[in-house]
Structure 1
């Protein structure tokens, strides 16, 4: 998160359909993430980059005893998060959202644990966020981070237009200050920020003809993820309408192929304050 977040470009954008995609994405990829997260002993949780509350919703469902404070710098996302929580019946007694730059936090208390998911990839200097939140964590508080490692994306067969678009998408994310490979760097970032007992694991998907239904769902989800960058990439002249259509057609083709393969690996880190 930049010193002036309002000027920062966000590759996925803030359109209403993107806000809904974030919730859909969270549900599709829920089990590979949360099967390895345990907040059962946590009472008050700090969520960095809470967005529209997509992960907040899952956290409260899986750990109903939690009280969550979500930090988000974009006003549109905070408004949508409150709307989503209200629809689910959650009020201030269970969740609060504060509009702040996570690299310069000013909170009123310390938390039992912290949660970050798909956030550091969008931040120019992610170590600043990790350092900023540390004073607001109790001694020994657990930190759970899940982040992208986009170089691991692989399909069989390889479709040139899909891979060309993915390369442009990731290169542009770097140009606007993000890091699509930040997951691989979590260990060093946490160490630099002063955390202890750091451990890393790889999670994700390796789907083939053994799991056709899940593969269909994940290919469709990934097509939507890639397409979320289309408006900004077109606006910046990074892609053509033709390439976008070919990428989407290629993903649909892979989705419906009986013997196609989808592989992607994200990185999860656990550390302690």
Structure 2
């Protein structure tokens, strides 16, 4: 889950190359639940806020080859990786361009008929400012699609303290550095306050049990890696120990192999118009 900017330089997932690759893998694991409900087929100029390593950008261009995408990203290291990734896939400046800006204070040329934001507002202390900042650069009736976390919905059966205690530390830390791991629940209010119209909200995600063991294993592994991505910073801050990290990872592996285990999580997806 990528970032645009928060109140500090701290980003819970970090910028290591392993994390940059995890973001791409994550995007593909969770692609279908997100993109089954997105249609930019009639749009031409899309603004992507918090494009990170281009993990979502490459999916957008695959689904909607009609688009030219302008990617706004705060962290230059992510932009460099995104350029590399997209060039390797054959996408050049005719399809995508990158701007190094703070999404709360955009300075853009021209107008856009669509906006895409995914796993970004959770990392920003003032998400309303992002929605307000981009509005002057949108055509009338431009389509806005935002997908965000609602981390309070994460549940496993059976509940394992080693997992849930770590998850609480992880989320509390994100709050302490200016983020909001429940921001998905606020998308309707934020969009309305920023002056958008025809706002609709849906819940997507996973409810995996013994009926889909392969998907369940894949998602447990993906989620373990997501949680582990915060480990270096949590260790550095003295909030977890190596023992706690290993216990969480082992418990996630064990649940992924249990026939009777359950993985449940909901994200929130909002569609609105300028």
TM-score, with structure 2 as normaliser: 0.98
CA 1:126–1:64: 2 relative to 1, 3 Å: same
- Structure 2 contact 5–74 (Cα < 8 Å) conserved: no
- The equivalent of 1:225 in structure 2 is 226
Match of 1:262 in 2: 263
In 1, Cα distance between equivalents of 2:110 and 2:72: 13
Match of 1:71 in 2: 72
Within-5 A mapping of 1:78-89: 78-89=79-90
CA distance in 2, matches of 1:164, 1:250: 12
* Cα offsets for 1:125-150 (capped at 9, x unmatched): 00000000000110000100000000
Are residue 112 (structure 1) and residue 113 (structure 2) matched? yes
CA–CA separation in structure 1 for the residues paired with 2:226 and 2:18: 11
CA distance in 1, matches of 2:63, 2:214: 24
Segments ≥4 residues shifted beyond 4 Å: none
Partner of 1:176: 177
Instruction: Name 1:189's counterpart in structure 2.
Output: 190
CA distance in structure 1 between the aligned counterparts of 2:224 and 2:30, rounded to whole angstroms: 14
- The aligned length equals 271
Partner of 1:104: helix, strand, or coil? coil
Instruction: Give the Cα separation in 1 of the matches to 2:231 and 2:131.
Output: 30
Cα drift, residue 2 of structure 1: 5.0
How far apart, CA to CA, are the structure 2 residues paired with 1:62 and 1:142?
Answer: 16
Where in structure 1 are there 5+ consecutive unaligned residues?
none
Supply the distance in 1 between the matched residues of 2:267 and 2:235 (Cα, whole angstroms): 27
Specify the alignment match of 1:200 in structure 2.
201
Shift of 1:8: 1.9
Give the RMSD, CA atoms, in angstroms. Answer: 0.9
Secondary structure, aligned partner of 2:65 = coil
Which string of whole-angstrom CA distances, capped at 9 and with x for unpartnered residues, describes residues 36-82 of structure 1?
00000001100000000000000000011110000001000000000
